[in-house]
Structure 1
Amino acid sequence: MIIFRINYKYIIGIFIYLIFFQNLTQAGVNNETHYTISFLQPQNHYVNVEMTFDSRGENEVSVSLPVWTPGSYMIREFARHIEKVNAYTSDNSPLEIFKTNKNSWKIITNGPGKISVKYRVYCNELTVRTSQVNIDNAFLNGSNIFMFVRGRLSDKCVLKINLPKNWKNISTGLKKISNDLYESDNYDDFIDCPIVAGNQEILEFTVSGKKHFICMAGKGNYEPAKIISDFKKIVEVQEKLFGDLPYNDFTFIVMLVQAGGGGLEHKNSFAVIADRNLFDKPERYRRFLGLISHEFFHTWNVKRIRPEVLGPFNYDSEVYTKMHYVTEGWTSFYDNVLLRRAKIFNDEEYLTMFENEVNDIMRFQGRFKQSLEESSFDNWIKYYRQDENSKNSQISYYTKGALVAFLLDMEIIKATNAEKSLDEVLKLLYDDYKKNPSKGYTDGRIKELSEQVSGINMDNFWRDYIAGTKDLPLKEYLELAGVELINTTADDKITLDVEYTYITDSVIMINKVYEGGSGYAAGLNFRDKLISIEDEMVTKNNLQSVLDKYNIGDEIEIKIDRDGLEKTVSVILKTGLPRYKMKIMDNRSDSQLKFYNKWIYG
């Protein structure tokens, strides 16, 4: 006779395990948000979106669309393009959904189960921060397109892309699961990957075993082999600086248009917009490569090395930092110097790019009105909302940040006798990131590391050039490296120091009047139209020759049309605002050569 003894503890253990496993499986499903996009009316600029998620037993669930996109610091109200928002159960029964604020909707769930939210988005604004859909292709920024479930930003996101029949290619930094299925670990990373769908040309190259894809969307006069060669050099020189490539693969998105520009960084991709016909014009092509270098440098500086407030993100309102002189200013310093290190630029070409940054700041009075920290903090209301008076009242943390980065670089080079440079500060910041990727740097960390590397106190430097508006001693610092800064204004033609728009050959309208110039002192205004100078009619073709009849110190009468009324303004001609050129000195000393080489080559 066989007697079976029941091990109740064992059975209870199995029972608990099965419940636990079931809950884990259910949690895995619950912790995902699934998206499907379709292009049912691309000719009318629409993308259709369906997002599906579990209610998790909640009676109410809210979904929202961001009001801004990381890297572009202005509230843009993307929800204004959302249409036909509806919610359904898994059996397609409608659920109650209503709007609670400008970018959020609340759903009454009717208990546990799957919820599907369907809507469409109008996309007809092609910038690096917005989206466009047309009959030929789609460029989608996730912040414009994909809502998120409130409280679930950490959930995994899965995306299915249904292409029109005549579209063959998809370009994105999202992890590819299959030809039309992609995923991301969380919402922040999900919307950080723009998407191009269409028939774009896709170029490839490999660096350190990692694939790089170049999406060339649109027609252009580029040579694929040269694009690959130059992009590869940019990747290699930046990898050499930082010591690694912090991604599995990288996607360069280049949208080619008739006219336009700009770029926006992402964690393992970026998007730029460029003129389709610039590639056979050397100067414009150099500026394009500067943009490519700039956005790629952000792979480290801002997407990983970042101020502590820049991630995780608040998508409902502004996020303030005083540190954009590092995120963008240092990037603007390194973008071109690394092209010189990569031997894409020669010395003259590099210094010409540097000159442009010097003139963008040092010609205008805005440099005395706003500090780098103020420019960074106020970018939400000033930098992205510039007007005709901006050069007189503010500075760009991009360009002044680049100039101050140069000064800081030279301070470190001088203090260490060219043993160290700003490169070492960057590497230490990257070390900080690698030790704790979830934590950004504080305002004080940049100064702390700069002092650590240089071995000198930086209190005065920070007070004068970062927190303050003291004029930048560029001439003295450039001379340390054997470069001369020359004001060429004395050789310039007579100028009113205003900018014009030529509405027609005979209608000249002022669109900017620069403080410190003759026109500003006399009270010429934005939108004034020039009629005559000393009773001589002026046109697009003769304006400069008429001005050249007079000398510095002369007083001239300028007749204008202001708001439909004729007025006469007396202008005393002054020396024009400074305009700078750079020149490498002859017979540089050993010290100057050493400092120059450390600056340029690291």
Structure 2
Amino acid sequence: MPSPRKEALADIHYRVEPSDLHAHIFRVTLTIARPAAQQEVALPVWIPGSYLVREFSKNLQGLEARQGKQPVKLTQCDKHRWQADCDTRKPLVLSYAVCAYDTSVRTSWLDASRGFFNGTSLCLRVEGQEKRKHTLDIASTTATAGWSVATGLSPLKTDKKGFGLYAAATYDELVDCPVEMGSFWIGRFTACGVPHRFVVAGAAPSFDGKRLLEDTRKICETAIRFWHGDGDKPPFKNYLFMLNAVGDGYGGLEHRNSTALICGRRDLPRSGEARPQEGYTTLLGLISHEYFHTWNVKRLRPSEFAEYDYTRENYTAMLWFFEGFTSYYDDLLLRRAGLIDDAAYLKLITKTVNQVLQTPGRAVQTVAQASFDAWVKYYRQDENTPNATVSYYTKGSLVALCLDLALRREGRTTLDDVMRALWQRSAGGPMSEADLRTVLKDLAGRALDEELDHWVHSTAELPLAELLAAQGVALKDEKPQLAQQLGLRVAENHSVHIKTVLRGSPAERAGMNAGDEWLGVEVQGQGWRITKLDDVSFYTGSHTSLEALVARDGRLLRLPVQLPGLPPDTTSTKGRRHTGTSLAAADTVSLGISDAAALKRWLG
């Protein structure tokens, strides 16, 4: 490939080469055309959209600097920042290697079959010059001769495979456009006049790309029309989906005109398959979620994120809105796009409701506090996480559901109108909770401060049963699964490994600990080996008292367990309609249609 013309290079220019595929090494060269006298460079410690300090600099090695043929002294200032003692009249060239050994969507990966990187994990930030134009040269090697490149960056001079020179207006734009490299499948479609690309790495031969493109197109058109009706164009000229299909995995990360996704290979649609697997619906929900983020968090975003600080945690108490409300709309837009029916949609809501109900931490931490603590709690989960915190994704989506249903019941507006009004009010930019409260008052004709205080800033239960009933949906108590009855989260692999013991549960009262291996049970003097949790029910039958044989730290312990006293025939409790205004009465529920006409007014 011909070398890029020098006049096309920006003042801040990066060259990224997949240098050693088997060692997972990217080689990076950074050229600063006009450096400061004591020019500082720094690698971010986190990536926007994933609220954890990830210390990307741990993968950086061999940093050197020169001007012409002369080496330049580098002084390391802290864990991720360096200072160059340089001449301001000459370009400063830094070279270094990055070990790319993370298959997630958040950092970088390189091996003999695929490369992927986010700029936050590869591209040193030039202090004081972040607002200048940046260019990125993605270099090909003999080892990557059969590869292609996909990225949301604007191409300046590239070959037919996508290798070559790309432009970014700022450092923020550069690191907000991840790069996919390899021999991937690629498809294209147009949504509301906007070109979209979809690349998939790692798909099996049975993969039905045509179906994925058609279903994704429906999601995109539904989202664009949600925000802009049939008139205005979305805030991007093109869009790119990058999906890595693996043996087992799930996740996504939103960007300004692209998203990086990961899913299980078996969750992709298959050729000749009349009815897709449940995992495919989950994948479509992920696609919907990350695409909705293009508006809600990438542009309409917390006021604290008006300017990202890449050097430390960026705190906000608003993730319940930006992640939670997006989680509400991701499945709702699947319903509006005709990709699932009412029953399937209610099943998805049921799953979310039960996830929240079965989290004791909802009585400990508000969803606003959970947002602020994401850096140390949600992204650093351990055996006590369900007891100490609540997910701003799941409870935040239920707050959105409550707000939408409350507005619809009063008949003056909907949450759809509120979201669009917030977009207009903020000009598609930073917003605060005060903006939300103002828009709600303007559109609803009354302040909803009491509701927000109750649902967001307290640990009180949400009035879902009452609000759902008004939309033709009945909420019913159900008999919980055995794990929930016991208060356990387990892994089953030839024995039962206890991962979490829920607060106030029979398992906690018995003295079970996270990390225990549950080996067997003794009932009325008879001992039985168990390999999965269902064995407990099989061997105890109608008995509610047993002894659990567990292994802990090399010791065998006998722990007395008292099971909940549910009668053998649970028809008197299972399916009982929940008539209260909160959800505190049960930790497992189901949703059913009680008034089809009312439901259609909501979902139709």
Decide: shared fold, TM above 0.5. Answer: yes
- Residue of structure 2 in register with 1:468 after alignment: 458
Structure 2 match to 1:521: 509
1:59 aligns with 2:37: yes
For residue 265 of structure 2, the aligned residue among 257, 260, 276 is 276
Q: Is 1:538 matched with 2:529? A: yes
Q: Secondary structure of the equivalent of 1:251?
A: strand
TM-superposed CA distance for 1:598, in Å, is: 4.6
SS at match of 1:101: coil
Q: 1:598 to 1:302 in 2, by over 3 A?
A: farther
Could you tell me which of 155, 158, 167 is aligned with 2:146?
Answer: 167
* Corresponding residue SS for 1:83: strand
Q: Which residue of 2 aligns with 1:425?
A: 418
Residue among 147, 152, 164 paired with 2:129: 152
SS in 1 for 2:515: coil
Q: CA deviation at 1:515?
A: 2.3
Aligned residue for 2:286?
291
Deviates more, 1:403-412 or 1:569-578: 569-578
CA spacing shift, 1:107–1:491, aligned 2, 3 Å: closer
Instruction: Report what 1:185 is aligned to.
Output: 169
Tell me whether 1:353 sits opposite 2:348 in the alignment: yes
Report Cα offsets for 1:399-428 as digits up to 9, x if no partner.
00000100000111112x2x5210011101
Q: Which runs of 5+ in 2 are unaligned?
A: 1-6, 159-163, 271-275, 567-585
Partners of 1:581 and 1:216 in 2: CA distance: 36
Contact 2:378 2:391 in 1 (8 A): yes
Spell out, residue by residue over 1:268-291, the C-alpha distance to the aligned partner (whole angstroms, 9 max, x if none). Answer: 000010111222452100000000
Structure 1 residue corresponding to 2:252, chosen from 245, 248, 263:
263
SS at match of 2:346: helix
Instruction: Tell me how far 1:458 sits from its aligned partner.
Output: 1.3
Spell out structure 1 runs of 4+ moving beyond 6 A: 28-31, 490-494
Q: Distance in 1 between matches of 2:10 and 2:43?
A: 19
Q: In structure 1, what is the Cα distance between the partners aligned to 2:209 and 2:77?
A: 49
Write out aligned runs for 1:230-241 (5 A).
230-241=215-226
Instruction: Please give the alpha-carbon distance, in whole angstroms, between the structure 2 residues aligned to 1:314 and 1:575.
Output: 54
Which residue number corresponds to residue 479 of structure 1?
469
> How far is the alpha carbon of 1:120 from its aligned partner?
0.8
Contact 1:79 1:102 in 2 (8 A): yes
User: Shift in Å at residue 223 of structure 1?
Assistant: 0.7
Structure 1 length as normaliser, TM-score? 0.89
Map 1:222-261 onto structure 2 (within 5 A): 222-243=207-228, 244-261=233-250
Q: Which amino acid aligns with 1:544?
A: V
Deviation at 1:599, TM superposition (A): 3.3
Secondary structure, counterpart of 1:309 in structure 2:
helix
Q: Tell me which moved more, 31-40 or 348-357.
A: 31-40
1:533–1:546 CA contact under 8 A, matched in 2: no
Find the residue that maps to 2:323 and give its secondary structure: helix
1:317-354 Cα shifts (integer Å, max 9, x gaps): 00111100111000000000000000001111111111
Q: Which moved more, 1:175-184 or 1:565-574?
A: 565-574
Give the whole-Å Cα distance in 2 for the aligned partners of 1:100 and 1:575.
Answer: 62
CA contact (8 A) 2:483 2:489 kept: no
CA deviation profile, 1:124-145 (whole Å, cap 9, x unmatched): 1110101101111211011000
- The CA distance in 2 between the partners of 1:575 and 1:51, in whole Å, is 67
Residue 589 (structure 2) pairs with residue 600 (structure 1):
no
Aligned ranges 1:484-499 → 2 under 5 Å: 484-489=474-479, 495-499=485-489
Farther-moved stretch of structure 1 (206-215 vs 98-107): 206-215
Partner in structure 2 of residue 550 of structure 1: 542
Determine the structure 1 residue equivalent to 2:384. Answer: 389
> CA 1:546–1:536 in structure 2 vs 1: closer, same or farther (change >3 Å)?
farther
Deviations 1:520-539 (Å, cap 9, x if unpaired)?
A: 22221111222332241222
Given residue 256 of structure 1, which amino acid in structure 2 is its aligned partner? Answer: A
SS at match of 1:319: coil
Q: How many correspondences in the alignment?
A: 558
Amino acid of the residue matched to residue 33 of structure 1?
I
- Report the alpha carbon displacement of residue 493 of structure 1 after superposing the two structures with TM: 9.2
In structure 2, the partner of 1:103 is 80
Q: Report what 2:47 is aligned to.
A: 69
Asked if the contact 2:325/2:397 (under 8 Å) is kept, the reply is yes
Matching residue's letter, 1:92 = K
Is contact 1:494-1:550 (8 Å) kept?
no
* Cα separation, 2, equivalents of 1:575 and 1:364: 21
For residues 502-543 of structure 1, give each alpha carbon's deviation from its aligned partner in whole angstroms, at most 9, with x where no partner exists: 342xx3221121224321222211112223322412222672
Residue from 300, 303, 311 that aligns with 1:316: 311
Deviation of the 1:578 alpha carbon: 2.5
Residues 225/31 of structure 1: CA separation in 2 closer, same or farther (3 Å cut): closer
CA distance in 2, matches of 1:430, 1:494: 41
Q: Is the 8 A contact 1:489 1:575 kept in 2?
A: no
Question: Residue 369 and residue 73 in structure 1: after superposition, are their counterparts in 2 closer, same or farther (change >3 A)?
Answer: same
Structure 1 spans left out of the alignment, 5+ residues: 1-27
Q: Which amino acid aligns with 1:411?
A: A
Q: Is the 8 A contact 1:261 1:273 kept in 2?
A: yes
Choose the corresponding residue for 2:445, options 455, 473, 478.
Answer: 455
> Between Structure 1 and Structure 2, whose CA radius of gyration is higher?
1
Shift of 1:29: 9.5
The yes-or-no answer on 1:578 pairing with 2:587 is yes
- The structural deviation recorded for 1:600 is 2.2
Q: What percent of counterpart residues are identical?
A: 31
Residue of structure 1 equivalent to 2:12: 33
Deviations 1:434-455 (A, max 9, x none): 3xx5x51122111221222212
d(CA) in 2 for partners of 1:339 and 1:429?
A: 22
**CA shift in 2, pair 1:292/1:63, >3 Å:** same
1:597 offset after TM fit, Å? 3.6
TM-superposition CA deviations, 1:541-560 (whole Å, max 9, x none) = 67234454134xx3322222
